[in-house]
Chain A
Amino acid sequence: SQKIEQNSEALNIQEGKTATLTCNYTNYSPAYLQWYRQDPGRGPVFLLLIRENEKEKRKERLKVTFDTTLKQSLFHITASQPADSATYLCALDPHSGGYQKVTFGTGTKLQVIP
């Protein structure tokens, strides 16, 4: 069956360090993968999108990699700040016949400690 796995355990990291979050998937052939941030009581906010033919994407302190052979995406936040504390969700579009039907992982909660 199709599955998207993110670290269910919270990730605690010291301010200034690089946070690395993992998204693994099975039985998908995604056209692209997205990362969202979600704060408590709020809707997800889009951060980055990476397509299947791209290896890496960057935006300011954020970097996403996409390895379709390993079926894995890594999401990096460099020089992390307490304001980066949130839950981060990865989402896949499973090549669903030409229209967008995104499936979300369960998210990883990141806590940046001052």
Chain B
Amino acid sequence: NAGVTQTPKFQVLKTGQSMTLQCAQDMNHNSMYWYRQDPGMGLRLIYYSASEGTTDKGEVPNGYNVSRLNKREFSLRLESAAPSQTSVYFCASSVGEKLFFGSGTQLSVL
């Protein structure tokens, strides 16, 4: 049982490049989330999806788009990466009151 799987684990981009972070869960959870964590800070919610076919903005959605492809997969896209988007990105899914997190993607934008 893999839980929440994120790819890639590390990525370096140049300013203006685009990329998609992938997330998949095998726990049949309805809700999925994308967070970012900057050094020395807590996690901030970027987007979440309460169920397949729905997405909503979180605290810091600017510069990001998401797609809930199906119940398992929730992707995060950076259309034109900026240095301010250098961060560690975590995907999560939830059942009831518990969130389950992936191991993160460390993204550097130069």
Q: A and B, one complex?
A: no
Q: A-side interface residues toward B, CB under 8 Å? A: none
